[in-house]
Chain A
Amino acid sequence: TAGITQAPTSQILAAGRSMTLRCTQDMRHNAMYWYRQDLGLGLRLIHYSNTAGTTGKGEVPDGYSVSRANTDDFPLTLASAVPSQTSVYFCASSDEGGGGSSYNEQFFGPGTRLTVL
């Protein structure tokens, strides 16, 4: 199986432009997550979804939005990109999310390297 795929692999974006980062998983996992990873910092959660139709805000949600129309897809949208959003973005999924799961190993996609100029 493919696991989790992300697109694009990398992108250079002009400040003020919008962009959607795509994420698709084929493991039928309920929970999905978007992280950003910056040098010297740990992975920071942007948004998450515990199940299709629901989403929640993570640690750094400002400037980002997500939707979860079905189990497999979890796109992340930057409405008006700013240089501080230059980062590597990882999508992840797990079998369960929140509320009673004590072991939710997360599986990560290959990442999208985004540069905002």
Chain B
Amino acid sequence: GQNIDQPTEMTATEGAIVQINCTYQTSGFNGLFWYQQHAGEAPTFLSYNVLDGLEEKGRFSSFLSRSKGYSYLLLKELQMKDSASYLCAVLDSNYQLIWGAGTKLIIKP
């Protein structure tokens, strides 16, 4: 079966750095996405990785290791508005997105 694992919940302090991990086992791999979802809202795109390595985009970076079936999302200089759920999703061999359950990130002052 196909499986995406990420922690259910994490807590971090405003101004700090947090790393949200995602491990996956899917039938094929055509890329990994990270989305942000604020409570009661729709998911919005953050990043896409298809090759190994780190992609940096402002305060957010995403890393991929295809051999390990592993990705992480790194958030720097945390702000209160970063409190949200972060969803990891893998594009499988049929180009269907397989979604993790999401990590709820709580930012404390």
**Which A residues contact B (CB, under 8 angstroms)?**
35, 40-45, 48, 58, 90, 97-111
- For B50, the chain A residues whose CB sits under 8 A away are 102-103
Q: Which 10 A-B pairs have the closest CB atoms?
A: A42-B99, A108-B42, A43-B99, A98-B95, A42-B101, A105-B45, A42-B100, A108-B43, A110-B42, A102-B30
Contact with A along B87-103 (1 / 0, CB 8 A): 10101001111111110
- For B44, the chain A residues whose CB sits under 8 A away are 108
- For B30, the chain A residues whose CB sits under 8 A away are 102
Q: Are B95 and A97 in contact (CB under 8 A)?
A: yes
**Which B residues contact A (CB, under 8 angstroms)?**
4, 8, 30-31, 33, 41-45, 48, 50, 87, 89, 91, 94-102
Q: Point out the residue from B8, B41, B99 that lies within 8 Å of A110, measured CB to CB.
A: B41
Q: Are B95 and A104 in contact (CB under 8 A)?
A: yes
- A87 and B108 CA atoms in complex are apart in Å by 29
Main SS at interface, chain A: loop
- For B89, the chain A residues whose CB sits under 8 A away are 42-43
Question: 28 A-B contacts, Cβ less than 8 Å apart?
Answer: A35-B99, A40-B8, A42-B89, A42-B100, A42-B102, A43-B89, A44-B99, A45-B97, A48-B96, A58-B96, A90-B42, A98-B94, A98-B95, A98-B96, A99-B95, A101-B95, A102-B50, A103-B48, A103-B50, A104-B91, A104-B95, A105-B45, A106-B45, A106-B97, A108-B44, A109-B42, A110-B42, A111-B42
Main SS at interface, chain B: loop
- For A100, the chain B residues whose CB sits under 8 A away are 95
Shortest CB-to-CB span from A12 to chain B, Å, is 17
- For A107, the chain B residues whose CB sits under 8 A away are 45
Point out which of A90, A99, A106 has the most chain B C-beta atoms below 10 A from its C-beta: A106
Q: Are A41 and B48 in contact (CB under 8 A)?
A: no
- For A43, the chain B residues whose CB sits under 8 A away are 43, 87, 89, 97, 99
- A44 and B4 CA atoms in complex are apart in Å by 12
Point out which of A42, A103, A106 has the most chain B C-beta atoms below 10 A from its C-beta: A42
Q: Which residue of B lies closest to A107 (CB)?
A: B45
